[in-house]
Structure 1
């Protein structure tokens, strides 16, 4: 799973606020092995520092809700998916993950 605490509900926060929020999320993930990644749109004009880790879908959604996130990402068979954490649970294939993660 790929999750961030930055920019809740897609509202741009300051770099300092986003850093504080991600530090809190990092504490929630401290018992899991995780890596830092940046995930963004096609041209990276919108990107968020995120965490990639092996956690259950239910825990990922729980954390996303805690940090007011609209969605989480996951990779399956080289494809990056955006999964809504809102009631609609929309699941969108964004294409090859290598183009959206740095």
Structure 2
């Protein structure tokens, strides 16, 4: 495994989430972003365009969804994401379609990190309820002027 992929995989395992609504522990759902395909940091405008495409696809499928923010442990990197009540295999296909290295999947409150574009083994990250913080509004993603840099 390359050091860059190893670095991404480690960062993904440390992700925390912010949500404006509590999500039932009984729900199964995916957490997917369209931001920064393949880990390449894009401009805010590029990320917003990709995010809108993902949201349009979710709406076209008629799937229930909620906005959620994924954040690095130090909160210096954040990505708007969507909690989507979708089948796990469909979620992985969406991750691949939007060039994501990985997605998250929650089932019975267990958070799983599932690879999409990188060759890693799926892992359980513990209880989702312990990795999500309820907030009155989602934090703003730190602005980024990067176009081809990698984060973490």
- TM-score, scaled to structure 2: 0.60
1:47: how far off? 1.8
Structure 1 Cα separation of the partners of residues 118 and 78 of structure 2: 24
Structure 1 Cα separation of the partners of residues 75 and 111 of structure 2: 15
Identify, as 1 or 2, the structure richer in strand. Answer: 1
Rg (Cα) greater in structure: 2
The alpha-carbon distance between structure 1 residues 87 and 48, as it changes in their structure 2 partners (threshold 3 A), is closer
> Structure 2: which 5+ residue stretches go unaligned?
1-29, 134-152
1:65: how far off? 1.1
- TM-score, scaled to structure 1: 0.86
1:94: how far off? 2.9
Structure 1 Cα separation of the partners of residues 94 and 79 of structure 2: 16
After TM superposition, the structure 1 = structure 2 runs for residues 76-87 of structure 1, keeping only pairs within 5 Å, are: 76-86=107-117
Report the counterpart of residue 9 of structure 1 in structure 2.
38
After TM superposition, the structure 1 = structure 2 runs for residues 1-102 of structure 1, keeping only pairs within 5 Å, are: 1-30=30-59, 31-86=62-117, 88=119, 90-98=121-129, 100-102=131-133
RMSD of aligned Cα (Å): 1.8
1:100: how far off? 4.1
> Larger RCO: Structure 1 or Structure 2 (Cα < 8 Å, ≥ 6 residues apart)?
2
State the SS of the aligned residue for 1:83. Answer: strand
> Structure 1: which 5+ residue stretches go unaligned?
none
The alpha-carbon distance between structure 1 residues 9 and 2, as it changes in their structure 2 partners (threshold 3 A), is same
State the SS of the aligned residue for 1:44. Answer: coil
